[in-house]
Structure 1
Amino acid sequence: MTQTAPHSAPASFETRMEDVGGQVLRVGIRRGTGKRPPLLMFNGIGANLELAAPFFEALGDTEAVIFDVPGIGGSPAPLLPYRPSTLVKLAHDLMRQLGYDGEIDVSGVSWGGGVAQQFAFQYPLVCRRLVLVATSPGSIMVPGAPDVLAKMASPRRYADKGYMQSIAADIYGGAFRRDPTLIQRHAAAMRGATQYGYTLQLLAMLGWTSLPWLWMLRQPTLVVSGTDDPLIPVINAKALASLIPKARLELVDDGHLFVVTDPVRMAALVEEFLAEE
């Protein structure tokens, strides 16, 4: 079932509601030229699809798809908790329902990077290339400082924009340390992160790790990390790049949200990687 999404979205998105096996998802599609497989993107924890707009708008000919995780943004919360494997199946079925029947490229940012790894492992013949941004191998990782992680334990920053501005430099680092006003544009696009939906995302990753099977991933993989990331220290990206056989590491002089603060550079980096033979 397809219908128009109830919330407004940037003009770069074609936004719709899709019923995938009984779970309604709010989906954003950025149309491209169709020269390459589409890019499926998994967002960070608590993040609605509008937060990906700067990156999507900076893409050239890449067709890209993103959706609000159940319980976040415009996607209704599920009745039962989910795991990365069930979310990946939902994403796979969504892409088929949208008409993408061949290979796809998969990317994930932060929390979504774990889901992207699971997709590559679970559907190795579907995932052509993998892009991992500001992420880690899951529960077995080198964590950020305890005071930083404590600020991430609730979705308050998504509901209270003043609170978000006050903690942005501490939790995201990079450009937000140099210019705290940058968070205002990011905060303006935030909506729909309930405590229940946020908790479901936290529970989904509880005990999950990709470390036992990273060596089995055969997709060419781009791992990108900020050198000043208080949430997910850069050593986690180095671990991913060393354990995934066909991975390469790119470091940027920024923090956790360089996809937001420097979307043009990030889009160019990703498209160059996706276009490689």
Structure 2
Amino acid sequence: MTPDAALLWAAAAAGAVPALREALRKPMTEEVRRAAPGAFVDLPKGRTHYCWLGRQRGPIAVCVHGLTTPSFVWRGLARQLASLGFRVLIYDLYGRGYSDRPKEANTPAYFVKQLHDLLAALDVDGDITLFGYSMGGVIASGFAAKYPNMLRRLVLIAPAGMQTDLGRTAKFATEWPVVGDWVFHMAYPSVLKRGYRAEREVAKSVERLEEMQLAELTYRGYLRSVLSSLRYTLRHPIPAIHKQVALNGVPVAAIWGRDDTVIPIAGLGQLAQWNRKAHQEVIEGAGHGLVYTHTDELGDMIARLTGLRA
């Protein structure tokens, strides 16, 4: 074999590694889904996993999770919301948790359609308090821009869409097709693992959170969906969406973590420019995981914002 041929063979072999690793991951099967809490519904773009928590009757809270951690991230705060009298709906975005992994661009419109389809399937037609955490803030804001009459209010928690620090690996992958895909599939699992383990000693309101987060990496289609979301939902700010929400007159509250390094608190000022009526609060000492690390403080703030009490 000539040196050039050997080099080409080595390059081809290296290029095939991510695809091989992905093929070795577990598919999301009905057998796996039998262990899931809650229920499933078949929507136009794929099967979606959801759970109702709290009371059988009452005002409805719908919670949209973020980029990498599916609906179980809400379990602690859902208990707080239930204690305020909410009937709480959590669900897995396409590509995460127990939901399907369609091979489509993960745009805000794609996720807004999933949420609208889910609510229609569950006969939920309005008077919703919509919560969006991290990337879920982009999706929830997009929903408020398109379907304002369905919402009582919008609550954004450490919301993406303003300024987001994706990290070097994710930033490179979003900018460079093909080679970026290779780098992302090879390097990003280690990035996620380091981030999860950095919070290992932090008290959390969600049991076995790190274990469940790491398990996501073992399922086929997860990394592809995360990368697609980085490229099509998180890559750029969304001023037009927030300005439309303001024009629609949807009451907006945003809650930020003072020490958040993923979505810096500077986003507070950006949101104020786009929607001057947005009410904003800051939790001191909280990082990006405030949904599960500062659950009690969040619950107290939400009680004040909504006028509800446990």
Matched, 1:57 2:89: no
Q: 1:34 maps to what in 2?
A: 57
Alignment of 1:91-170 (within 5 A): 91-136=115-160, 138=161, 141-144=162-165, 146=167, 154-156=188-190, 160=193, 163-166=194-197, 168=198
Identical pairs, percent: 22
Mapped to 2, the partners of 1:255 and 1:22 lie a distance apart of 34
List 4+ stretches of structure 1 deviating above 6 A.
148-153
Mapped to 2, the partners of 1:155 and 1:237 lie a distance apart of 30
Which amino acid is the alignment partner of residue 50 of structure 1?
Answer: F
Kindly provide the CA deviation profile for residues 120-165 of structure 1, in whole angstroms up to 9, marking residues without a partner as x: 10111112200111123x2xx434385596799634466x4xx345
Mapped to 2, the partners of 1:156 and 1:57 lie a distance apart of 32
Backbone CA RMSD of aligned residues: 2.9
Mapped to 2, the partners of 1:198 and 1:86 lie a distance apart of 14
Alignment of 1:153-192 (within 5 A): 154-156=188-190, 160=193, 163-166=194-197, 168=198, 176=199, 180-182=201-203, 185-190=208-213, 191-192=215-216
Cα drift, residue 17 of structure 1: 1.0
Higher radius of gyration, 1 or 2: 2
Alignment of 1:175-254 (within 5 A): 176=199, 180-182=201-203, 185-190=208-213, 191-193=215-217, 194-205=222-233, 207-217=235-245, 218-253=249-284, 254=286
Higher helix share: 2
Structure 2 residue runs of 5 or longer lacking an equivalent are 1-29, 174-183
Kindly provide the CA deviation profile for residues 28-80 of structure 1, in whole angstroms up to 9, marking residues without a partner as x: 221325332x1111101111211211111222111111211111111120132
TM-score normalised to structure 1 length: 0.79
Q: 2:12 maps to what in 1?
A: none
Which amino acid is the alignment partner of residue 228 of structure 2?
Answer: L
Q: 1:123 to 1:195 in 2, by over 3 A?
A: same
Q: 1:124 to 1:100 in 2, by over 3 A?
A: same
TM-score normalised to structure 2 length: 0.72
Using the TM superposition, name which of 186-195 and 96-105 deviates more: 186-195
Matched, 1:79 2:107: no
Mapped to 1, the partners of 2:269 and 2:106 lie a distance apart of 29
